[in-house]
Amino acid sequence: MAPVTQLPAARQLDMMKALKEAAFAAVVTFGLCIPIIAWGTRQNLDNVLVLDPRWDAVAWAVAIIFVGRFLMALRQQKRGEGKSVVRLLPHGTIGFFQRHSRLFSLAGLGFLVTFPIIAITLAGWGGALKWIDNFGVQILIYVMLGWGLNIVVGLAGLLDLGYVAFYAVGAYSYALLAKNFGLSFWILLPMSGILAAFWGMLLGFPVLRLRGDYLAIVTLAFGEIIRLILINWVEFSNGYAGISGIPRPTFFGIPFTAADDGFAAVFGLEFSPLYRTIFLYYVILALALLTAFVTLRLRRLPVGRAWEALREDEIACRSLGINTTNTKLTAFSLGAMFGGFAGSFFAARQGFISPESFVFMESAIILAIVVLGGMGSLWGVAIAASVMIGGTELLRELEWLKQIFGPDFDPTKYRMLIFGFAMVVIMIWKPRGLISTREPTAFLKEKKAISADMVQEGHG
């Protein structure tokens, strides 16, 4: 009977400790919010700086930090059985999804193929354009970019902070060749990928001996060099003005215009810009699926296993006789190739590109998608891209929040704040990402997923 009577007291002590930690974090947050959030500045009609109190925002920040720190403290406390006091997901949830990954993959593929039909059915022809373009196409672009960077970061373990450079190479390759030589989208799509892969190899040679933070700094510099070249080489890229009037892709030579030879007229349909958006959606869906297919196949080839060996321990990789030079170059070039594919599609979709579309923040977002989803996991990257990019678009739909916080409240301004908060939560809850298990590609008798928490970096 003694353990039964002592258990509530122990829990009470744990609760008091968690409350103290949460209260301390709330006090610190309150002190930081006073000079940063408590007052907003604006200029009135007399050009006088006016301070507007925003204590409601301070109260929200303090409350969120208090609750979050309280839950974190409870989660960190261990019971006698070694289990957490608070479990965010039921035990075995991730394992269940991984055991039935093929079924969920087929269900997800079916949803993606029928998404335009679902959007048209629910929102009509007028409202479906926004959902297919802003959600479907935009999310799939970042899914493809995340899967491309996943080859470099997730499989090969090479931290790349300049991935947006290959995105820019693909976009400008398509834009310049299409405008100056009149080549079609289907010819320039593989050419853009090949050119981006070439630049990936050029980046790979100088960084063969670099690791960790030094590799990240060099790749970051490479991304900025490409952007500055595009800004300053005006004769080549038109500088800050960018390139406009980029030819749009056609359906086997049939343009999506209102002319007599356009897509709608040829097939006897009423003209609508939705046809071009649906066509672009299926193009980027095919490119994303191609990226996933190639990644899965490469993981089972010797080069894919060499990437995983390089990620775990480069010294052991060399001792096994693996050519680390070729291994790194293939990872950089293949990852860059898929970035080039996505860049050419981006240019064809937008019809206008400029250096401001390829800033470092784009690389940071793509890397955040890979890290949050789980390095090496295709499912995790897809989920993270859907949440991060789709969440941004959903913020634009939350107009009803203005009735609570006032007419001047703009939810999109808090996008980066939400991203930062999400990264903190994920790094505490799942340090290796949402899908944090490693499934070996080579096995003797039984194929079994191993939790990444049981594997240290460089030890398996």
Segment among 12-16, 90-94, 225-229 with least mean pLDDT: 90-94
More confident residue, 21 or 74: 21
pLDDT, residue 449, reads: 54
Provide, rounded to the nearest whole percent, the portion of the chain with pLDDT above 70. Answer: 84
pLDDT band at 456 (very low <50, low <70, confident <90, very high): very low
pLDDT, residue 85, reads: 46
Mean pLDDT computed over every residue of the chain: 81
pLDDT, residue 1, reads: 43
CA torsion angle 50 56 61 65 (round to 10)? 150
Segment among 352-361, 371-380, 411-420 with least mean pLDDT: 411-420
pLDDT, residue 47, reads: 78
Under 8 Å between Cβ of 201 and 326: no
pLDDT, residue 448, reads: 57
User: What is the arithmetic mean of pLDDT over 27-47?
Assistant: 82
Q: State yes or no: pLDDT of 326 exceeds 90.
A: no
pLDDT, residue 146, reads: 93
Q: State yes or no: pLDDT of 337 exceeds 90.
A: yes
pLDDT band at 78 (very low <50, low <70, confident <90, very high): low
Nearest to 280 by CA among 341, 348, 338: 348
Under 8 Å between Cβ of 166 and 199: yes
Rounded to whole angstroms, the Cα distance separating 225 from 238 reads: 16
Segment among 36-50, 74-88, 322-336 with least mean pLDDT: 74-88
C-alpha to C-alpha distances, 238 to 170, 232, 242, 444, 450, nearest whole angstrom: 16, 8, 5, 57, 51
Strand duo 243-244 + 49-53: pairing: unpaired
Segment among 169-183, 225-239, 313-327 with least mean pLDDT: 313-327
Under 8 Å between Cβ of 258 and 112: no
User: What is the arithmetic mean of pLDDT over 149-176?
Assistant: 90
pLDDT in tens, 130-161: 888 888 899 999 999 999 999 998 888 888 88
Q: State yes or no: pLDDT of 27 exceeds 50.
A: yes
Q: State yes or no: pLDDT of 450 exceeds 60.
A: no
End-to-end CA distance of the chain: 45
Q: pTM for this one?
A: 0.80
* Helix-strand-coil split of the chain, %, nearest 5: 70, 5, 25
User: What is the arithmetic mean of pLDDT over 305-321?
Assistant: 85
Sequence letter at residue 77: Q
pLDDT, residue 342, reads: 93
pLDDT, residue 197, reads: 93
Q: State yes or no: pLDDT of 303 exceeds 90.
A: no
DSSP string, 291-305: HHHHHHHHHTSHHHH
Q: State yes or no: pLDDT of 79 exceeds 50.
A: no
| Dihedral sign for Cα atoms in the order 255, 257, 263, 265 | negative
Q: State yes or no: pLDDT of 348 exceeds 50.
A: yes
Q: State yes or no: pLDDT of 363 exceeds 60.
A: yes
Q: Which two tokens stand for residue 101?
A: 């990954």
pLDDT, residue 424, reads: 79
